[in-house]
Chain A
Amino acid sequence: MTKVVLKVEDLKKSYGRNEILKGVSLEIKKGETKVIIGPSGTGKSTLLACINRLVEPDHGRVLLEGEEITSRNACKMRQKIGYVFQDFNLFNHLTALDNVRIGLIKVQKLPKEEATRIAIEQLSKVGLSQKVNLYPSQLSGGQKQRVAIARALAMRPKLMLFDEPTSALDPELIGEVLSVMIDLAKSGMTMLVVTHELGFARTVADEIIFMENGIIVEQGPPALIFTNPQKDRTKQFLRKLTELYGEEKNK
């Protein structure tokens, strides 16, 4: 039996009287990639933020490899969860290299030489070995996001969370980030990805989760969800996406 990496149990979160998450449960096994789709404002990002405790949930539990994440052990647990943001959030005052190795040096307390070696290795993997000494504002959006992915991967996470990683990118730059993510999924990384990129979902997702209004409406393998969704709402949403982005080809 494959090991369960992430288990989310009945997660709830409200802001004031506005209930964003109304009890979400899901499970990801080692090496799986699950993709969350759904309209904006339905709690997809809040779900990810609650998983690594950037946002404190009101109710429910999150377990990483069987260990519950609480506000007390959050710092330790976050090291095992890579997080990629929609707007990159690279540290603006640091070079690409320093962005990737600062966590290794300051959080994991690795010696500088080893941290540098790992950082350069990760940056090479995302195709940026020539850009290690550039600052974020000297990089394109796609390059920034690839540095951000390298930064997360350098910590050797058990799980990667992606929060709409390509939504802030020019159409021409989306491909380079997606191809890094596809490679990553194929290499056996466990991933939970919020995205509107249906092509990506089709290519690598083991399961598609359709969320709306704080609940999971429907989930299942991409073949099923894309060709024969059971719920009308899922159908509607997928039609909208296809209208917007055009028919996706299977890669």
Chain B
Amino acid sequence: MSFWQIVLVSMPRLLNGLTVTLYMTVFSAAVGLLLGIILCLGRVYGNKVASLLSTGFIELIRGTPMLVQLFILYYGLPSYNIRLTPLLAALIGFSINSAAYQAEYLRGSIQSIGIGQMKAALSIGMKKWQAVRLIILPQALRRVIPAWTNEFIYLLKYTSMAYIIGAPEMMAQAKFVASRNFEFFKVYLLTAAIYLSIVWTISFVFSYFERKLRIPGTVVTER
């Protein structure tokens, strides 16, 4: 079959898989963001217990391969009579994994802000959490956008791992189409092209937001 025939034959399935891939990525990135903020604030500003719990969770997740986590969720939990669908196992796995990484990106960003902002906020009578919400986070979240772009792109590509536990994402569909037509090279090349185009779009969109949300007067070099 010619390349274009392959495109025609495999596109419906690949696009079908792509919607699952995108859904998984956006879902895990969003849940990961929310959880990540909580974990990070717990680690940086929480009391001893919150800080210890958050740090422990982050280090546990970062310290183990994502595949192991997926296998524990999908193949391990049934031993305790918890049966997750492949998609659900993947969503949970990617979300907590991303949360751990996003928490650390945000922590770095918070630490780059400098103690003076917190001192100034407290000095006008703000409570600690008010200062975090109104002064620290709005600045830290802006600074973390480049790292998020990375995280989002990682997630998009890492979701391909979910095919191993049978989630119907793009890579699973690609493998199916490729083996049925014995056109591994062309189908996987096409799959790679789709990933690439999505990644480029994401970088473009995120850098647009980065520019739009930038604090006026804070950029030294602009290309």
Binding site for B on A (CB under 8 A): 52, 54, 74-76, 78-79, 81, 83, 85, 87, 89-93, 102-103, 106-108, 134-138, 148, 151-152, 155
- Please list the 3 inter-chain residue pairs (A to B) with the smallest Cβ-Cβ separation, ordered nearest first: A79-B125, A89-B120, A137-B217
Q: List A contacts of B120 (CB < 8 A).
A: 83, 85, 89-91, 148
- Interface residues as binary, B138-164 with A (CB distance below 8 Å gives 1, 0 otherwise): 110010000000000000000000000
Q: Are A135 and B123 in contact (CB under 8 A)?
A: no
B87 interfacial by beta-carbon distance below 8 Å: no
In contact, B119 and A75 (Cβ under 8 angstroms): no
Question: Do B123 and A75 touch (CB < 8 A)?
Answer: no
Residue pair B123, A76 in contact (C-beta under 8 Å) = no
Collect the chain B residues with CB atoms within 8 Å of residue A138's CB: 216-217
Q: Does A152 lie within 8 Å of B215, measured CB to CB?
A: no
CB <8 Å contact, B121 and A85: no
Interface of B is mostly: helix
B interface residues, tally (CB under 8 Å) = 21
Cβ < 8 Å to A, chain B residues 104-158: 116-117, 119-127, 130, 134-135, 138-139, 142
New A-B contacts (13) at CB < 8 Å, excluding given A85-B120, A93-B135, A135-B217 = A75-B127, A78-B123, A78-B124, A83-B123, A85-B119, A89-B120, A90-B120, A91-B120, A106-B126, A106-B134, A134-B217, A138-B216, A138-B217
Which A residues are in CB contact (< 8 Å) with B138?
93
Query: B125 to A103, Cβ gap below 8 A?
Result: yes
B116 near A85 (CB under 8 angstroms)?
A: yes
Q: Which of B200-223 contact A (CB under 8 A)?
A: 215-218
- Looking at B123, B142, B215, B218, the one whose CB has the most chain A CB atoms below 10 A away is B123
Q: Smallest distance from the beta carbon of A151 to chain B beta carbons, Å? A: 7
In the complex, the answer to whether B117 meets A52 with C-beta atoms within 8 Å is no
Q: Cβ of B130: which chain A residues have Cβ within 8 Å of it?
A: 106-107
In whole angstroms, how far apart are the Cα atoms of A113 and B48 in the complex? 41
Are B124 and A54 within 8 A (Cβ)? no
